[in-house]
Amino acid sequence: MPFTSFSRPSFGQPPAIHLGWVILLCSAWILFGLISHDPWKPDDAYSFGLVYSILQGHDWVVPMLAGEPAMEKPPLYYLTAAGFARLFSGWLPLHDGARLASGFYMGLTLFFSGLTARELWGKGYGRLTALILIACLGLLVRTHQLVSDTALLAGFTIAFYGFALAPRRLVLGGIAIGTGAGIGFMADGLLAPGIIAITALLLPLASQTWRTRQHLISLPIACIVALPWLTIWPFLLYQHSPQLFTEWFWVHNLGRFNATAHLGDTHQSAYYLRMLPWFAWPALPLALWTLWRQKWDAWRNPYIALPLTLFLVILSILSAAAESHDVDALPLLPPLAVLGAAAVESLRRGAANALDWFSVMTFSLVAAVLWAGWYATLTGHPAELARKFDQLQPGYVAHFNGAALLLALVLSVAWLIVVIRMERGALRAIVNSALGITLAWGLLATIWLPWLDAGKSYRAMFTSMHQSVPLQYDCFSSRNLGDPQRAMLHYFTDIISEREELYQPHCSLLLVQGRPQSIEPPGQNWRILWEGQRLGDNSEWFTLFQKH
């Protein structure tokens, strides 16, 4: 049951769409791109390095990357990914199995976002919320990578649902709030519980729905549920190493606000406001339409107050940080999608047709280019198009994959059927947005995946380097080797490099990363043993030196 103490907004019943089709589309959106490719730079490779250390039996309390502590994030996501990798190790490579953790957390995100919309707006709005969410441009790439932010996003949406549920069922609402805060904490640190706590304090000011005994009682329940999440791992970390605990707590939590964490770009004025128009498309214009239809005076009603308050709190906290990163903006999308779901039925015909036309034209053009480019890389015709793609990925040899082609054809035919047969209206505009972005992503994740993987994977390069490494050597050192590269060196060659920046080792082998033609021998008694780069990558050059 939705809230009953307030009058229902005059938007009418949402457009009907079968739940099974929504689940099928969301499942396809989640699964495409999760498997059949190596870890890619930067975040995919970095995160898998942490997962790989867990799989090798290292202590989960201290996340390790190629033999060194990596205290940026707590270990929940990496433990989940390691569990999936081990569970599916008989069917999938370790990195593919690990990436299923992102699919798991995105499933939770869509599920609880839909439940929140249903609780606030009524039956049928949850399905629209899920479709709007997967249509968001900013959600697509990042949530199909090995990044702990997918677990953070799931934590936020569970707490979001808890706030919506608490006025009606305070115990379950409190459990959801506490669980969401705990998951967010174990995924990212203090950011999630801080934002959730501020939201809990502001909601009574925003609406009388949370100015009640039920809300007051739900908060201690949330604190009790969250307490194990918030204390067990920090306690174990402190017991293991007070120094590492201090690094995690002060540098990687508070450091994002005083620019000492070095996790992203610094001093980006209005960074998140400037990126939202494309990052949150089409959720942002739909959410603004909901607010406009309410004449901006219904913000005290629960179905407006909750998502708007949570969105503003997240935006304010992120904007106050000294360091910014696009992946940090993911939690802004569920509140906007929940607000935007109510706008679908009330969209003016012109606006609905414009959104529908934009989706059909944009994704049809993208699909046509992807199909033509795939055919050109496979056959060499037309020659000019094949030459352009060959310049982007020099040395790539195309091969035919029947299963990938079949999936791509099914997606394309489904797109054509919906575009041709579905009646015009706001629902068609949302469905075409969600299905269109799934089509484009699905083509990249099927017929184009080998081409992408050839240039983004470090497998071929490090395998080539490893063939030049002598059978006997004292130790292996590195200079300017980034964290993703160290992780992939460890995974593909089982070599853990000793960084000159930290250890000043005296090894007979030295791997240097730098700009092409800018790497010089470290001394007169060194010779080049191997040098190379990834296909089509002109920004990274690797040279392996050996001491005479």
What's the pLDDT score for residue 260? 60
Strands 541-547 and 509-514: antiparallel
Cβ atoms 281, 288 nearer than 8 A? no
What is the C-alpha to C-alpha distance for residues 402 and 380, in angstroms, rounded to an integer? 19
Give the torsion sign (CA, 136, 140, 141, 147): positive
pLDDT digits (tens, 9 = 90+) for 386-414: 898 888 888 888 889 999 999 999 999 99
Tell which residue, 335, 345, 285, has the closest CA to residue 116: 335
Q: Which residues pair with 323 in a beta bridge?
A: 266
Cβ within 8 Å of residue 358, ≥6 positions away: none
Decide: residue 361, CB within 10 A, 0-12 exposed, 13-18 middle, 19+ buried. exposed
Residue keyed to tokens 């996790």: 263
Decide: residue 365, CB within 10 A, 0-12 exposed, 13-18 middle, 19+ buried. exposed
For the entire predicted model, the pTM comes to: 0.94
What's the pLDDT score for residue 4? 45
Cβ atoms 541, 513 nearer than 8 A? yes
Q: Tally Cβ neighbours within 10 Å of residue 460.
A: 16
What is the C-alpha to C-alpha distance for residues 104 and 154, in angstroms, rounded to an integer? 9
Residues of the chain with pLDDT under 50: 1-2, 4-8
What's the pLDDT score for residue 251? 87
What is the C-alpha to C-alpha distance for residues 347 and 535, in angstroms, rounded to an integer? 47
What is the C-alpha to C-alpha distance for residues 349 and 256, in angstroms, rounded to an integer? 44
What is the C-alpha to C-alpha distance for residues 496 and 128, in angstroms, rounded to an integer? 48
* Beta strand extents in 379-525 (DSSP E only): 476-479, 498-499, 509-514
Cβ atoms 290, 339 nearer than 8 A? yes
- C-alpha triplet 421, 424, 425: angle, nearest 5°: 140
DSSP 248: I
Q: Please state the φ and ψ torsions of residue 477, each to the nearest 5 degrees.
A: -110, 165
3-state secondary structure of 305: helix
Task: List % helix, strand, coil for the chain (3-state, nearest 5).
Answer: 65, 5, 30
Q: Please state the φ and ψ torsions of residue 520, each to the nearest 5 degrees.
A: -115, 155
Cβ atoms 309, 197 nearer than 8 A? no
Report residue 393 as tokens: 């990925």
pLDDT digits (tens, 9 = 90+) for 255-300: 777 666 555 555 567 899 999 999 999 999 999 998 888 765 667 7
DSSP 136: -
Residue keyed to tokens 């497998």: 459
What is the C-alpha to C-alpha distance for residues 269 and 323, in angstroms, rounded to an integer? 10
Q: Tally Cβ neighbours within 10 Å of residue 142.
A: 18
Give the torsion sign (CA, 117, 122, 127, 131): negative
pLDDT digits (tens, 9 = 90+) for 166-190: 999 999 999 999 999 999 999 999 9
DSSP 141: T
